[in-house]
Amino acid sequence: MARDDELLVAIRRIEAREAIRDLHSRYCFIQDRGHSTHGEVEVQAFLELCHPDIVWDNSPDHSRAHRGHLEVAEYLRALWKRFDSCMHYVHNLLVTFDSDAAARGRSSFDAVGDIDGEAFVAAGYYEDEYIRTDAGWQFLLHREVPFFFVKVNEGWAGPKPRIMAAWTRNR
């Protein structure tokens, strides 16, 4: 019987890993497209991916952390206004399980789009913590650590992290 139990645990981990991958895909599908079309429906759909105690941090040093649904919703409303469009890709996702209901992940991301009619490109990595709830797997922590985020005509060569000045001035 131990062999059946081991197989059941392995199958549950595979299912959980795929559910976490789906969580990232839903995040991208909600986030990406012409941002002028984003409204309250998208904000609420996004929050469904997040635990009520979410920490959404777009900085390597915690200086831009948004805590809880209310702060994340405010952040999204302001963020989406800044982009004309955006499309990003999450890849290289590695998931480590701390328990049947808690996991950590790290993944790479690339993003392209335009801000005020100018094309940009970005890349970096995400550090995430996930929690299994009655609603399924949700983000408990999402940290974005940018490698570069620049206008295409500026290029991304040079010291990293390289973040366009217009972005850091207007955050």
Cis ω on the peptide bond leading into residue 146 (within 30° of 0)? no
pLDDT score recorded for residue 37: 74
**DSSP-assigned beta bridge partners for residue 139:** 50, 130
pTM of the model: 0.90
pLDDT score recorded for residue 60: 67
Q: Most distant CA pair in the chain: distance in Å?
A: 62
Q: How many CB atoms neighbour CB 163 within 10 A?
A: 16
Coil, strand or helix: which one is 27?
Answer: helix
Map out the domains of the chain as residue ranges: 2-169
How far, in Å, CA of 81 to CA of 127, rounded? 25
Query: CA distances (Å), 145 to each of 7, 107, 115, 163, in order?
Result: 36, 10, 20, 11
With tokens 């197989």, the residue in question is: 7
Question: Which DSSP state fits 24?
Answer: H
How far, in Å, CA of 141 to CA of 41, rounded? 22
Structure tokens at 61: 């040093």
One digit per residue, the tens of pLDDT, for the chain of length 171 reads: 568 889 999 999 999 999 999 999 999 999 886 666 778 999 999 999 999 999 999 876 788 899 999 999 999 998 888 888 899 899 999 999 999 999 999 999 999 999 889 999 999 999 999 999 999 999 999 999 999 999 999 999 988 888 887 776 555
Regarding the domain delimited by 2-169, which CATH topology (the fold level of the hierarchy) does it fall under? Nuclear Transport Factor 2; Chain: A, (3.10.450)
Phi-psi region of 147 (alpha: psi -120 to 50; beta: other; left: phi over 0): alpha
